[in-house]
Structure 1
Amino acid sequence: MFRFAHANIIAKDAAKLIDFYKTALQCKSIGETRDIQGDWLDQMTGVPNAHIVGEHLCLPGYDDKHPTLEIFSYDSMVTTNHHAVNQCGIAHLAFEVDDVEQTLKQVLAAGGGQLGELVHATYADGRKATFVYAADIEGNILELQSWN
């Protein structure tokens, strides 16, 4: 077997970020909470005395098996305060939605933010899409998209 399993966000406050993704982006609990520590975790992460808490959320549009969004917090974390669309590394999580404007309103109402403007694009093959970059409550970048 070879398949995508999950994406992970390390949160400053896992409980608050989990609630944001459930409220604003229709992710749902599937009973996969975690409270993990031990030698194997220290060895795998390279973090001494690692302790992780959080949850796997089912992504909208999928059943309760996979893929999931894993939101964890460590007892001890390295924090930075800047996320940029053009930063090297994983840049954003994309959600295809029925109504980009309405979903953006839900993101904003749940405490998230907006980057740039909502745009309508027409591709050379005639496909049309609506896009906006947003941010969750911890600044992680989200792309909301709708295709016509």
Structure 2
Amino acid sequence: MIVRMDNVGIVVEDLAAAVAFFQELGLEAEGTGMVEGEWAGRVTGLPGQRVEIAMMRTPDGHGRLELSRFLEPAVAADHRRAPVNALGYLRVMFAVDDLEATIERVRPLGGAVVGEVVRYEDVYLLCYLRGPEGVLIGLAQELG
């Protein structure tokens, strides 16, 4: 049985820009490091991998986001502009305290609303947002 979810991983080209974007959303930088060596290749099936990572933590301490920049091997595929009905990883959803203020804070860092901000009944304000490199993020503000 699963005990918990440790993190969600997102591969990026510009690690510093991605860290700055997620910090502006409210995540806290936990640390950076390199993932390399024979053991890492055995885990991922990518022998010789060298990956620079930054671990981000949600303010409540329960969620983590691992941002990765592959130095070796080269990135194999690019799914950043995939539409919301594409198969595979799509987005990470974050609860925010003020949706409009959050959008305004990340706009200078490349954040752009995909469709529009929508009110779901009297429960949530919701939107999808593209961040740096087209990474898709969901934002939800609980109403009431």
TM-score range, shorter chain: 0.7 to 0.9
Residue 129 (structure 2) aligns with: 134
Does structure 2 conserve the Cα–Cα contact (< 8 Å) formed by 1:93 and 1:142? Answer: yes
Whole-Å Cα distance in 2 between the matches of residues 40 and 146 of structure 1?
A: 41
Residue 144 (structure 1) aligns with: 139
Residue 19 (structure 2) aligns with: 18
Question: What is the TM-score of this pair, normalised by structure 2?
Answer: 0.87
2:119 aligned counterpart, secondary structure: strand
Deviation at 1:78, TM superposition (A): 2.0
Question: What is the TM-score of this pair, normalised by structure 1?
Answer: 0.85
Among 57, 61, 65, the residue aligned to 1:69: 65
Whole-Å Cα distance in 1 between the matches of residues 101 and 85 of structure 2?
A: 25
Does structure 2 conserve the Cα–Cα contact (< 8 Å) formed by 1:119 and 1:132? Answer: yes
1:44 aligned counterpart, secondary structure: helix
Residue 100 (structure 2) aligns with: 101
Deviation at 1:128, TM superposition (A): 2.3
Q: Judging changes above 3 Å, is the alpha-carbon distance between structure 1 residues 67 and 129 closer, same or farther for their aligned structure 2 residues?
A: closer
Does structure 2 conserve the Cα–Cα contact (< 8 Å) formed by 1:100 and 1:130? Answer: yes
Residue 112 (structure 1) aligns with: 111
Deviation at 1:99, TM superposition (A): 1.4
- Deviations 1:76-104, CA, capped at 9 Å, x for gaps: 21242522211112221111112111111
Aligned sequence identity (%): 25
1:72 aligned counterpart, secondary structure: strand
Deviation at 1:21, TM superposition (A): 0.7
Q: Which runs of 5+ in 1 are unaligned?
A: none
Residue 53 (structure 1) aligns with: 52
Does structure 1 conserve the Cα–Cα contact (< 8 Å) formed by 2:116 and 2:127? Answer: yes
Whole-Å Cα distance in 1 between the matches of residues 18 and 39 of structure 2?
A: 26
The total of aligned residue pairs comes to 139
Whole-Å Cα distance in 2 between the matches of residues 85 and 107 of structure 1?
A: 21
RMSD: 1.6
Structure 2: which amino acid aligns with 1:16?
A
Q: Which runs of 5+ in 2 are unaligned?
A: none
Residue 40 (structure 1) aligns with: 39
- Deviations 1:4-38, CA, capped at 9 Å, x for gaps: 11111111111221111112x111122x3221211
Most deviating of 66-75 and 76-85: 76-85
Whole-Å Cα distance in 2 between the matches of residues 90 and 46 of structure 1?
A: 19
Whole-Å Cα distance in 2 between the matches of residues 86 and 46 of structure 1?
A: 28
